[in-house]
Amino acid sequence: MVGESPDVDADEAFQFVLSLYRLLRELHRAAPPDNLPRTQLLVLAKLARSGPLRIGTLAEEVGCSQPTATKVVHAMEEAGFVARAADAGDKRVSYVHLTQQGRRRLGAVVRDESRVLVERFGDLEQDEVELLLKAGAVLRRMTDGAETDIRQIPHDPQ
């Protein structure tokens, strides 16, 4: 039943968490050589999915403080991944939006990390792959409640 804690063995849960960390570490190593920090990756993915956002909203959505989001956005502006634009109705308000360079960078990370995951799937039986893909949908629901359609993220042909 939703809302009740399921009967889960703490050791099994811990092993699951460790396995996730190991897999994420391996995926991160596959990313392009300039190693986009995870907070920047989350910002790029959020902007690709939702469109322009205010920094405060972005901070809430990626799970960081507003000062951290401001620093991250500033670094990403310098890298050319995002840009800020003033609201047409209220010049005091600005929105952060993804640039083409940011879309290409996100696409490169998706391509490289997905390639590693697909390679790892090659070591599994078909029913295990299907189980993991179903678990992925559950994990997305647990973490952000919305589907991220990676088909909307351009894949840089480089």
Q: What is the pLDDT of residues 130-139, one digit of tens each?
A: 999 899 888 8
Separation between Cα atoms, residue 68 and residue 43, nearest integer Å: 12
Q: How far apart are CA 7 and CA 49, in angstroms?
A: 35
Q: Which domains does the chain have, with CATH numbers?
A: 11-152 (1.10.10.10)
| pLDDT tens digits along 42-100 | 999 999 999 999 999 999 988 899 999 999 999 999 999 999 998 888 888 889 999 99
For 139-153, the DSSP string reads HHHHHTSS---GGGS
Which tokens hold the place of 72?
């991250």
Long-range Cβ pairs for the range 119-125 (8 Å, 24+): 120/23, 120/26
The pTM for the full model equals 0.72
Name the 3-class secondary structure at 13.
helix
Rounded Cα gap, residues 94 and 74, in angstroms = 13
Check residue 151 and give its pLDDT: 47
Rg (CA), the chain: 18
Burial of 15 (0-12, 13-18, 19+ CB in 10 A): exposed
Return d(Cα 69, Cα 96) in angstroms, integer: 11
